[in-house]
Structure 1
Amino acid sequence: MRRTLPVGRAARNSIDRAGPGSGTVQHARFAPLPAHGLVDETLHLRVEGLEPGARVRLRLASAGAPGTMWMAEATFVADAGDVDLTRDAPLEGSYAGVDPMGLFWSRAAVPGVPGETAADPAVVTLTARDASGQAFLRHELRRSFLAAGVRQASVDAAGLVARLFTPPARGPHPTMIVLGGSDGGFRWCSEVASLLASRGFATLALAYFGIEPLPPTLDRIPLEYFERAIDWLSAHPAVDPRRIGVIGASRGGELALLLGATFPALRAVVAYVPSGILWPGVPQMDHAAWTWQGRELPTAGQMPLADWQRMLADAGLQDDTPEAYQLVLHDLGMIEAATIPVERIHGPILFITGRDDRLWPCEQLTGFALRRLQERGFAHRVEHLSYGGAGHAIGWPHVIAPATRTTHPVTRAVMDLGGTPAANARAAADSWPRMLDFLQRSL
């Protein structure tokens, strides 16, 4: 699913500092680059017209918090008279190895330099510099989550807290419900919904706690809430009710599998770093996260929070680590009761996981679902993208790599998400177009 982007004039790429004797840069130019595009677009960054053997330092920068900017740099040798990031690895810099978009994800916060970046943080500035550090090429590019013509609207119906995104083309469209994780609100889901809508899907970014008037925490969320969302979407003129799917990450990935197993109207499921078994609320571990028809669903590890903290202390473990989850995964009876009946899903399933997930044992938790699908003779396609070296933070590509350690916005616990920025970025770059292809084939 490719988009044609507007191309800026090559003449605007050059900074007129090259005199008659500056053969290294006087004919240099960037290969044509767009003036704007989506954040998930892969660009072909190439500097042409260089002297063979010339050293060129490429810098990508964007505005950050006041007094800072996000910047990445890499030095290349123009062996054949050009530098091509799809072919060349940097001698040194913010990333290593051949990576067409390495300058995008490897940006880090540094003190701001006046005039280095545009004021709009969505605009990135690419410069090429000579051995003295002098910039001789410059190009600005605005990166957006929304394509031109995509419409967005807040949903205030059926008790939902949601945002609807619709593509510019006439519908009805294949549609995805997009769910965030245990951080609540619209984190993760709004950005994913924007990008999917820019690719031709109607999307509903659906909050289910952590924002008024929803519950403040992940605690006994009724599945009937999501049933109302499906019913509301099915009646919307922009939506094809025969082509509705669901996508979620982390606890939202767990939820996506559960919703697919509960509601036949959902015809495709994408689960990022999910669990195939159900877990308690956050942080209220003495209750389930989900209810159906007035009853709490069976959950692994449900107990009073004080008991859980005592178990962790006795074992010398911290919360939100793979080792902590192992404290309850040995109870086979409890696991059987808490396993999501994924064989009831009425369409294909895509799992996306990182093998170095340090938040929870994602490969093992996904394995419960994969084995159940195989044992029950699941009738639809199942795909699993598993990435070595990647952790819990796999999402859309070509943005600043998220930190591998972060503070949970609800529990305030410091979490190790695992992976490395490079491995997480490359997992996102590989999985994102494959996820889009999965949805195209499935819906």
Structure 2
Amino acid sequence: MSSQVRLRLLPRARCMFDEPLQVKVAGLRSRQVVTLRAKATDEKGVMFSSMATYKADGSGEVDLQRDPSLSGTYTGVQPMGLLWSMRPDTLHKMFTKTCSLNPQVVKFSVHEEEGGMLAEATNERLLVGDGVIRRPVKDGNIRGVLFTPPGEGPFPAVLDLYTFSGGLSEKRASLLASRGFVVLTVALFGHDDMAKNIKEVHLDYFEEAIAFLKKQDKVGSKAVGVISISKSGDLALSIASNLPDVGVTVWINGCSANTVLPLYYNKSQILPALMFDPSRMIPTDSGAFNCKYVMHNPLAEENKATLIPIERAEGRFLFVASEDDLNWDSKAYMENMVERLQRHGKDNFESVCYPGAGHYLEPPYGPYCPSSFHKVAGKPVLWGGEATSHAAAEVHLWRKIQEVLRTHLSCDAPQTKARL
């Protein structure tokens, strides 16, 4: 390495996962061409990496906020491109970061055109902010993790329903807690002492989770927010439509009908499942399948019983759809729901659509995932989207989610609550 070349990560090398980073290089020769690289290993040991070629200015400096990448895993001025353009070393892998206890560690380096390393630096991207309390929950039927911000509060309460692939994901919940929300993320199966698989879903479980969340000392909102993505989107709709105390529901690339598994409440089935036709999966040259149109049409007469009666919901909705979602046609589902609410004279919703974005809209600056294994399909599938547009959508959406939750989950003054 060259003692002259300096690689700086600003404002600091240790930051929150959802915070932008300024990458600067100094001490190069005037107009020198260099390659910047980033690499990280996920929880399953899969290596992800990115690279971009830059030309230093007359002072021998490169600033990713100012200078364009000339070639690599992205091009143009993209200050966070080295993070979101990281690709796995094997096909069809999603960057797995479900546990919040350890930061995402990213190794940045600068290389000469010939390949020799000139400088390196390490970025630790934290999922839990200073003072946030992480508490595993095993209470009644509830299995999950509760995140509580520092300070007396009161804070808005959020129930986080992540993907439907089993187990527990803490990333989004821990980051929201670091932004001032009390967040409970729950598992449905495949976690702790829960069943490895399930054949039906019971709304009573989420009712219990909401009651638990509302009793927490620092919670000040009378109603809770519910945030979801993919299959959990229809669960969130059913929660909002059937249970009290839901102030706002964030639906991200879900369906307008109850999908895959029948839904029960108070020991009775309230919604049958909308199913899919595997023969509609379209193979591609990459080995992954396009599943955009595999679901049966929820508006067909024989499937209308699966539609969720969202007009019953008393709270508000934020509908978020990616135009290039290849998991299913989430934009069409969103349009169906908007039309349904308007037909019932309701205006308790806001809808956002992202051109060029794919299915998995997550907290920003993680590696974009074009394809990975789908547990329900049993095959690798395409998630859709173009990396640059998808990354921009995640930045915008993350701010939007926090804005909507804060606006519609007003908090009372601090009050004493019985500890569980």
**TM-score, normalised by the number of residues in structure 1:** 0.80
Q: Partner of 2:343 in structure 1?
A: 375
In the alignment, structure 1 segments of 5+ residues that lack a partner are 1-14, 19-24, 112-119, 282-287, 303-307
Alpha-carbon distance, 1:206 to partner: 0.8
Is the CA contact (8 Å cut-off) linking 2:157 and 2:214 kept in structure 1?
no
Tell me the alpha carbon deviations over residues 121-144 of structure 1, each in whole angstroms, 9 at most, x when there is no partner.
832222233444343333222111
Q: CA deviation at 1:376?
A: 1.9
Look up the match of 1:22.
none
Could you say which residue in structure 1 is the equivalent of 2:300? 331
- Give the letter for the 2:167 counterpart: G
Residues in 2 aligned to 1:384 and 1:406: alpha-carbon distance in whole angstroms:
27
- In structure 1, what is the equivalent of residue 80 of structure 2? 101
Secondary structure of residue in 1 paired with 2:321: strand
Contact 1:165 1:197 in 2 (8 A): yes
Q: Which digits, 9 at most, give the CA deviation of each residue in 1:158-199, with x for residues without a partner?
A: 221111111112233211100123212214xx2111111111
1:392 aligns with 359
Q: Deviations over 1:91-148 (max 9, x none)?
A: 111212221111012223459xxxxxxxx98322222334443433332221111112
Does residue 279 (structure 1) correspond to residue 271 (structure 2)? The answer is: no
- The residue type paired with residue 48 of structure 2 is W
Instruction: State the SS of the aligned residue for 2:49.
Output: strand
C-alpha distance in 2 between matches for 1:441 and 1:242: 13
Mark the CA change 1:263 to 1:105 in structure 2 (over 3 Å): closer, same or farther: same
Alpha-carbon distance in structure 2 between the residues aligned to 1:100 and 1:316: 37
* 1:334-413 alignment runs, 5 A limit: 334-335=303-304, 337-380=305-348, 382-402=349-369, 404-409=370-375, 412-413=378-379
Residue 413 of structure 1: CA displacement? 3.2
Taking a change above 3 Å as real, the CA distance of residues 68 and 389 of structure 1, as seen in their structure-2 partners, is closer
2:145 to 134, 154, 163: 163
| Alignment match, 2:229 | 249
Q: Give the letter for the 1:391 counterpart.
A: G
Q: Does 1:83 align with 2:78?
A: no
CA shift, 1:386, in A, is 1.5
The answer to whether the Cα contact below 8 Å between 1:104 and 1:400 also exists between their aligned partners in 2 is yes
CA distance in 2, matches of 1:301, 1:129: 52
Q: Which residue of 1 aligns with 2:99?
A: none
**Relative to 1, partners in 2 of residues 1:218 and 1:93: Cα closer, same or farther, differing over 3 Å?**
same
Counterpart residue number, 1:58: 36
Partner Cα distance (1:173, 1:205) in 2: 16
| Secondary structure of residue in 2 paired with 1:323 | coil
Distance 1:66 1:392 in 2: 22
Determine the structure 1 residue equivalent to 2:272. 299
- Give percent identity, aligned residues only: 29
Deviation digits for residues 15-60 of structure 1, max 9, x if unmatched? 6533xxxxxx5xx663744131111111122334655422232222
Which residue type is aligned with residue 42 of structure 1?
P
SS of match in other structure, 1:133 = coil
How far apart, CA to CA, are the structure 2 residues paired with 1:395 and 1:323?
23
* Structure 1 position 213, deviation (Å): 3.8
More off after superposition, 43-52 vs 249-258: 43-52
Separation in structure 1 between the aligned mates of residue 200 and residue 41 of structure 2, nearest angstrom: 41
Cα separation, partners in 2 of 1:442 and 1:107, compared to 1, 3 Å:
same
1:212-251 equivalences under 5 Å are: 212-251=192-231
| 1:350 positional shift | 1.4
Q: Partners of 1:316 and 1:202 in 2: how far apart?
A: 40
**CA–CA distance in structure 2, aligned partners of residues 416 and 68 of structure 1:** 19
Q: Determine which structure has greater relative contact order: mean sequence separation of CA pairs < 8 Å that are 6+ residues apart, divided by chain length.
A: 2
Q: Distance in 1 between matches of 2:71 and 2:215?
A: 55
Alignment-derived partner of residue 117 in structure 1: none
Equivalent residue runs for 1:112-131 within 5 Å: 122-131=104-113
Residues 64/227 of structure 1: CA separation in 2 closer, same or farther (3 Å cut): closer
How far apart are residue 359 of structure 1 and its match?
Answer: 1.4
Over 3 Å counting, the alpha-carbon distance change for 1:66 and 1:37 in structure 2 is same
Q: Select the structure that is richer in helix.
A: 1
Is 1:321 paired with 2:308? no
Query: Are residues 235 and 329 of structure 1, via their aligned partners in 2, closer, same or farther at CA, if it must alter by over 3 Å?
Result: closer
In structure 2, do the counterparts of structure 1 residues 222 and 300 end up closer, same or farther at CA, with 3 Å as the change threshold?
A: closer
CA distance 1:219–1:55, change in 2 (3 Å): same
1:221 is matched by which residue type in structure 2?
Answer: V
Q: In structure 1, give the amino acid aligned to 2:294.
A: A
RMSD: 2.8
Q: Please state if 1:45 is matched with 2:23.
A: yes
CA contact (8 A) 2:143 2:187 kept: yes
Cα distance change, pair 109–346 in 1 and its aligned pair in 2 (3 A): same
For the pair 1:71 / 2:57, whether they are aligned, the reply is no
Structure 2: distance between partners of 1:408 and 1:109: 17
Distance change >3 Å, CA 219–CA 80, structure 1 → 2: farther
The answer (yes or no) to whether the contact 1:59–1:127 under 8 Å persists in 2 is yes
Quick one: distance in 1 between partners of 2:303 and 2:395?
37
Q: How far, CA to CA, are the matches of 2:69 and 2:361 in structure 1?
A: 25
1:428 paired residue number: 394
CA distance in 2, matches of 1:277, 1:80: 59
The residue identity in structure 1 corresponding to 2:202 is: P
What is the distance in 1 between the residues matched to 2:198 and 2:332? 23
Q: Which moved more, 1:245-254 or 1:235-244?
A: 235-244
- Cα 1:416–1:16, aligned 2, differ >3 Å: closer, same or farther? closer
Which structure has the greater CA radius of gyration? 1
Distance 1:412 1:272 in 2: 22
Aligned to 1:17: 3
